[in-house]
Amino acid sequence: MARILVIDDDELVRASLSRCLADMGHEVLLAGGLRQGRLLAETGVDVIYLDLDLPDGDGQQAVDILAALPSRPEIIVITGLGNNHGARQTMASGAWDYLRKPASPQCVRDSLAGALAYRQERGRGRNGPDPSGPALVETGPDDADGIETCGIIGDSPAMRRVMGLLRRAAEREASVLVLGETGSGKELAARVIHANSHRKSGPFVVVDCSNLTETLVESALYGHVKGAFTGAHTDRRGLVAEADGGTLFLDEVGELPLSLQRSFLRVLQEHRFRPVGGAREQTSDFRLVAATNRDLEAMARAGDFRSDLLFRLRTVEVALPPLRERGDDLEALAGHFAARFCARYALPAKRLSPQLRTVLAGYSWPGNVRELGNVMEAAVIESGPGDVLYPKHLPGHVRVGVLGRDADGPRRIEPALPGPAGHTVRPYEEYKAGRDREYFRDLMAACGHDVTRASRVSGLSVPSIYRYLALAGIPTRKKMKRNDAADPWAR
C-alpha cells in the first residue's frame, strides 16, 4: 500500500481520484491548494497528484519543491490546461508523468503503477549506484553534494535538482544539451559538467556560434591549411582540434548555419574532420556540450535546424530554471554580487535593505542572473560610500518594472468604484470571471451537466470545459448523491 496525496482545487477531481486510488488499496490524502498540500506532503508520501492551476500558487513551480521533500515523492501532474501547457517544463523538472483531464481511470492506474515500481526499484538501489542504469532519470537533494560548482550559487530545490543532473551528466560521455533563457548560466553549467568529468584536466573550448559568420565558421571549427583561401597565410588548428582530450562547448548552437550542420553531425558521430583545403582527415577525442535559448524543436519543424543533429545533441537534456523561479537564490545571488563589486571598487561592504529585497523579488528578471549582476553593480556604484543598498540605488528600469506590484509580484487592485447609472466598475479580471461563471452555469444547465455535450455546444475542448468549470467553481454533475455508475473513476 502506498501513501498518495492529491492536490487539486476541483472537489470532483479530488473525490474521483480518492475513490479510484482507495479502491486500489492505497491511503489517500486530499488537499485543495498548495499550502495545505505542502503540510500534508511533509508528513511523508510516496506519490503526489498535482494540478498546475491552483488558487494559492503555481503548481508547475512547486514540482521541484515537493520532489525535494525528505520522502522524495514521485510527482504526477494532472491538469485541465489545454495544449500541453507547461508539459515540457514540467517533465524537465523531474515529474514522473503529465496527465491531461479528463484522464481515464486506466491511464491513472497505469501511471501510478509505473511510479510505484520505479520507486521500489530506486529504494533497492540506494545502497550502491548501478553504473549501467538509466542516466539522469532521478536526482535528489544529496545528488548535488560534493560537486565542483564552478561559481554557481543557489540552494533552491530547482538548482539542487539541476546540480544533481549536471553531476550525473559529468559521469558519462553522452552529448548534453543545456536549455535556458538568456543569462541563466548555461556556460557555467557546461563548465560544471567538464570540471566534474574525467576530462577535467583537458581543455574546455568555447565556440560562440552567434559570433561566427557563415563564411568563416567552417575554418573556425575545423581549421585550414595554408593557401586554402585568400588570407590563409599559415596553417591553423580549428576549435574542434583544440578540444582534443577535453570538452567542446557549442554556445547558442541554434545559430549554427544550416549549411554546416550536416558536416558537424558527421564530426560528432565519427570524431573525424577535414580542415578547409586539407587533403587528409584528422581526429579529435572531444566530449560535446551544447547550449541554446531557442526552441530547436520548432526550428527543426520549420526546416531551420536538422532534426537528426538535434537528436544527437540532446542525448542528455538539462533545463536551467529562470531566476524568477529560484526562490531564495535571488537574495543570495544579490548579496554575492554586492560583495564582489564592493571589493572590485574598494567600497565598504553593503547590506541589502528590506525595501530593496522587496523590489528585487517583484521584478521579472528577463535577463536572469546576468542581468542581476549588472543591476547590483550599478547599485553598488550608485550607493557610493554608504553601507546599505536601497531601491533608490537601483537602475530606473528595475524600479519601474515593479510599480503596482507587491512583494509577491501580483498587481495591486483598487476596490470597486461606483460608476454611471448606478453601475459598479469592478476590476476587469473580476468582471470577466463573473461573466464566465454565468456562461458556464447556463451552458451546463442547458446540457444537463454533460461535459461531452457541453463541449459540442460551446466549441471548446473537453479539457477546456473542465478548466473553466474548475475556475468558476461549477460542478460537472448536479449536486446529488453520486453512485458508482455516475462516477467513471470508480470503475
Mean pLDDT is highest, among 108-112, 145-149, 333-337, for 333-337
Is the distance from CB of 182 to CB of 293 less than 8 angstroms?
A: yes
Q: Residue 457: which region, alpha, beta or left (left: phi > 0; alpha: psi -120 to 50)?
A: alpha
pLDDT, tens digit (0-9, with 9 covering 90-100), for 267-309 = 999 999 988 888 889 999 999 999 999 999 989 999 999 999 9
pLDDT at 205: 96
Residue 409 domain-assigned (yes or no): no
CATH of the domain at 210: 3.40.50.300
Residue 46 domain-assigned (yes or no): yes
Last residue of a domain, one of 95, 125, 155: 125
Q: Give the three-class secondary structure for 408.
A: coil
Whether 191 and 292 map to the same domain: the answer is: yes
Residue 108 domain-assigned (yes or no): yes
Whether 179 and 302 map to the same domain: the answer is: yes
Is the distance from CB of 170 to CB of 193 less than 8 angstroms?
A: yes
The better pLDDT of the pair 63, 432 is held by 63
Q: Is the dihedral of CA 362, 363, 369, 371 positive or negative?
A: negative
Say yes or no to pLDDT of 139 above 50.
no
CATH of the domain at 85: 3.40.50.2300
Whether 9 and 36 map to the same domain: the answer is: yes
Of the candidates 180, 169, 185, 135, the residue with the CA atom closest to the CA atom of residue 288: 169
pTM of the complete model beyond 0.85: no
pLDDT at 217: 82
Of the candidates 439, 437, 438, 415, the residue with the CA atom closest to the CA atom of residue 427: 415
The lowest-confidence range among 55-59, 180-184, 252-256, 276-280 is 55-59
Residues 27-52, mean pLDDT to the nearest whole number: 91
- Residue 292 sits at φ, ψ, to 5 deg, of -160, 155
The better pLDDT of the pair 114, 131 is held by 114
Residues 258-268, mean pLDDT to the nearest whole number: 90
Percent helix, strand and coil across the chain, each to the nearest 5? 45, 15, 40
Give the whole-number percent of the chain exceeding pLDDT 90. 40
pLDDT at 421: 57
Last residue of a domain, one of 101, 125, 149: 125
Residue 282 domain-assigned (yes or no): yes
Whether 177 and 307 map to the same domain: the answer is: yes
Last residue of a domain, one of 276, 302, 321: 321
For residue 114 the three cell numbers come to 509505473
pLDDT at 427: 65
Residues 168-172, mean pLDDT to the nearest whole number: 92
Q: For residue 277, give its domain range.
A: 141-321
CATH of the domain at 328: 1.10.8.60
Whether 106 and 73 map to the same domain: the answer is: yes
End-to-end CA distance of the chain: 20
Identity (one letter) of the amino acid at 298? A
pLDDT interval class at 93 (50, 70, 90)? low
Mean model confidence pLDDT for the chain: 82
Whether 286 and 152 map to the same domain: the answer is: yes
Whether 118 and 251 map to the same domain: the answer is: no
pLDDT at 123: 67
Residue 134 domain-assigned (yes or no): no
Residue 131 domain-assigned (yes or no): no
Question: What angle do the packed helices 368-383 and 329-344 form, to 10 degrees?
Answer: 50
Query: Running DSSP on this structure, what letter comes out for residue 84?
Result: T
pLDDT at 486: 41
pLDDT at 313: 94
Whether 214 and 299 map to the same domain: the answer is: yes
Angle, CA of 194, 156 and 91, to the nearest 5° = 75
Say yes or no to pLDDT of 185 above 90.
yes
The better pLDDT of the pair 470, 62 is held by 62
The DSSP element (H or E) to which 247 belongs, if any, is strand 247-251
Say yes or no to pLDDT of 105 above 80.
yes
Residue 132 domain-assigned (yes or no): no
pLDDT at 489: 41
The better pLDDT of the pair 29, 87 is held by 29
pLDDT, tens digit (0-9, with 9 covering 90-100), for 379-435 = 999 999 989 999 889 988 888 777 644 444 444 445 555 656 556 666 666 666 677
Is the distance from CB of 153 to CB of 340 less than 8 angstroms?
A: no
For residue 181 the three cell numbers come to 533563457
**Chain centroid to CA 36:** 24
Residue 51 domain-assigned (yes or no): yes
Whether 268 and 154 map to the same domain: the answer is: yes
**How many structural domains compose the chain?**
4
Say yes or no to pLDDT of 362 above 90.
no
Residues 203-223, mean pLDDT to the nearest whole number: 86
Beta bridge mates, 487: none
Whether 274 and 337 map to the same domain: the answer is: no
Is the distance from CB of 408 to CB of 359 less than 8 angstroms?
A: no
Whether 293 and 266 map to the same domain: the answer is: yes
Whether 194 and 307 map to the same domain: the answer is: yes
Residues 221-242, mean pLDDT to the nearest whole number: 85
pLDDT at 352: 94
The better pLDDT of the pair 452, 243 is held by 243
Say yes or no to pLDDT of 90 above 80.
no
Is the distance from CB of 277 to CB of 182 less than 8 angstroms?
A: no
The lowest-confidence range among 22-26, 46-50, 149-153, 226-230 is 226-230
